Amino acid sequence: MVTGRKQAKSWATDMAVSAARTAAFDILLRVERESSYATELLHSAHYRRFSTSDHALATELVMGVLRWRSRLDEQIATASAQPLSKLDLEVLIALRLALYQLGWLDRIPPRAALHESVELVKGARKRSAAPFVNAVLRKLAATALHSPKPSGQTDLYTSADDLARAFAHPLWLVERWADQYGLNAARQICGHNQTVPSTSIRLSVPGAEAELRMAEIDLTPGSLLSSARRVRTGDITRTIVFRKGQVAIQDEASQLIAALVSSEGKGRGRDAARILDCCAAPGGKTLAIADRNPGALVAAVDLHPHRARLLQELTRTTGSGRIRIIAADACQLPFSVPFDRVLADVPCSGTGTLARNPEIKWKLSPGDLRDLQSRQRAILDSALAQVAAGGRLIYSTCSLEKEENEDTVEQAVVSNRSFRVLDCRSELERLKKSGDLTWPDPTSLTCGPYLRTIPGIHPCDGFFAAILERS
C-alpha cells in the first residue's frame, strides 16, 4: 500500500497543488490513520526544506482543520448528498481543507481553495470522487458561511451543549469541565483551545536573550517565571542559540513544574543531591531541572530506547553532562539507591494542551481516562519507592481530568502511608520570594494543596502537580 507521504511526493509536482496544501493533506491523513501528532509531523525533517511562508500556511491549515473539525463537518453535511460516514477519508479531508479556507481564512482566493482540493482528491487516487467534491464545495461557496468565531457574549452559552457546538469540542469533555470548573471556566478553556497559543521559551545561559534579539527575535517577559520569555515575532528554531540548546521552547506551566523540583535533599549538600525524572522524554523538564541544579546528579528514565537515544543526543548538544539517561519501564525502576527528589511527570490525556494538540479531543474517549489512570497509578507507586527518607516526589500531568490528578494522588497516599501531601502554596511562595516566580498571586495557581493551571484563565497550558513528602 502506498502511504500518503509517498503519494504526496509523486503527484505534488505533476499537479497544480501548492506544497503547503499537499503537506496539510498528507499530515491530516496521517493524524487520522496513524494516530500521529500534527505538531511532531509539522516539525519533522520532511518539512524542514519548506519556506517560512509555506510552513506557516501548512501549519495554519492543519491546526485550523483539527481545531474546528466538528464545525466543518456540520457545514459539509448540509451540502453533501451522502452521509459523511460513507465518504472516503481522503475526500472528507479535502472537503475540510477547502471549507476551512473558504470560511475561516480571509486571504485565500476561493477558486484556489476549491481547485486544489479537487486536485488533491484526484492525486489521492480518488478521481471518481472529484465531481462530487467540486459540487459540494461550489454549493458551500455559494452559501453565506456562518462566522466561525464564537461570540464573546457569555450569556449566549447557557449549557455545555452550546459550548461544545460553538467551540467545536466533544460534548462529553465540555460537560466534564463545566461540572468540575463551572460553565464560565469551561467557556474560557474552550475559547483558549481554539486560539494559536503563544510560544514560550526558557533561557538556560546568560547572553542567550541578547543573541536572540540580535537575530531579530522580538521577546516579551514571561507571565509566570523570570527565566521565561514569550516570542512575539520571529522564528526561534532558525537561530544559532536554539540549535545549540541555549534556549528551549517550553510552556511556562511546564517550566513551573521543573521549578518545583528542588535539589536540596534532607541530610545532603546541594552538590550531592540525587534527582530522578521517571518519564523524561522529550527532555524539556529534565534539562530545566539540570540547569536549576548544576551540582545534582539527574537520572532520566524513558520507556522507549529510541526516545532515550534522542534525549541522550539532546544532552550532548546542551552540554548537560550530569544527566544519566536510562531506557527502562517507570513501573519497574532499576535503582537501588534512593533519590532526594523524584519527578513523575506521567503520560496523560493531554487535555490541558488542546490549543497545541487539537487532535487529542477527537481521539480521546472516556474509557481512555480509566486506562491512563491505571498506568499513572503504577508509575506513581513505583516512583514513590525511589524516594529517600525526607525526600519529595512531584507528581504532574498536563491533564484537566480529576481521575488523572487528585484521584490518582489520593489513592496512592492511602496505599503509601509514609507519604503526605504538602501544600503547593508554600513552595510557590518560596519561588516568589526568590524571584523565580513573577506571577502576582501564587494562591490563584492552586486548588486545595495542588498546583492547578487552567488554559484560558492562566496564561499557559493546563497542568496539575502534587508534592508528596516521605517521613
Residues labelled as active-site residues: 398
Q: Provide the grid cell at 471.
A: 517521613
Three-state SS annotation for the chain: CCCHHHHHHHHCCCCCCCHHHHHHHHHHHHHHHHCCCHHHHHCCHHHCCCCHHHHHHHHHHHHHHHHCHHHHHHHHHHHCCCCHHHCCHHHHHHHHHHHHHHHHCCCCCHHHHHHHHHHHHHHCCCHHHHHHHHHHHHHHHHCCCCCCCCCCCHHHCCCHHHHHHHCCCCHHHHHHHHHHHCHHHHHHHHHHHCCCCCEEEEECCCCHHHHHHHCCCEEEECCCECCEEEEEECCHHHCHHHHCCCEEECCHHHHHHHHHCCCCCCCCCHHHCEEEECCCCCCHHHHHHHHHCCCCEEEEEECCHHHHHHHHHHHHHHCCCCEEEEECCHHHCCCCCCEEEEEEECCCCCHHHCCCCCCHHHHCCHHHHHHHHHHHHHHHHHHHCCEEEEEEEEEEECCCCHHHCHHHHHHHHHHCCCEEEECHHHHHHHHHHHCCECCCCHHHHEECCEEECCECCECCCCCEEEEEEEC
Q: How far apart are CA 197 and CA 252, in angstroms?
A: 12
